[in-house]
Amino acid sequence: MRGKILLQGISGNQGTATGNVRIVRSNEEDAFDEDTALVQKGDILVCDRYRPRNNYQKCITKAAALVQNKGGRWDYGAIESRAVFSIPSIVGTEKATEVLKNGMAVIVEGETGEKEVTMADAKIRKIKFGTVYQYLPD
């Protein structure tokens, strides 16, 4: 059952997944390798930005969904989640790695609506967004 809204961001891929958060820190090589080794089947992979590294490939195959701080609809993580792994994803949350904690149970809904956004060129565009909710067991 859905609890409160924890995060919203740009929809990378539609779909819904429930699982436990596993944060992968990508700023230090040792931390990255240590974190990717801890990803379990069905985890929600949370990172600053998904990169086409070998260990990311290994851990995303286990993930139920991808949530990242940076990126847009055409970011590598969004494309991989749609075209290769068919898992829900939310990108551009800005603070997923700060708000979410390892082991936290969440629901990821890859597409929950549309918002109008004013772009840098002053044009207004509609973007699809996704939401991460706190998971509350029945």
pLDDT digits (tens, 9 = 90+) for 46-56: 999 887 776 77
Q: Give the pLDDT of residue 117.
A: 74
Positions in the chain short of pLDDT 70: 27-30, 54
Alpha-carbon distance of 135 to 105, in angstroms, equals 5
pLDDT attached to residue 27: 60
CATH of domain 2-135: 3.50.30.10
| pLDDT recorded at residue 9 | 93
Max CA distance (Å), the chain: 46
The confidence score (pLDDT) of residue 116 equals 76
- 24 Cβ partners below 8 Å, 6+ apart? 32, 35, 36, 39, 45, 46, 47, 56, 59
CA atoms within 13 A of residue 5's CA, in its CB half-sphere: 9
CB contact set of 59 (below 8 Å; sequence gap of 6+): 22, 24, 36, 39, 45
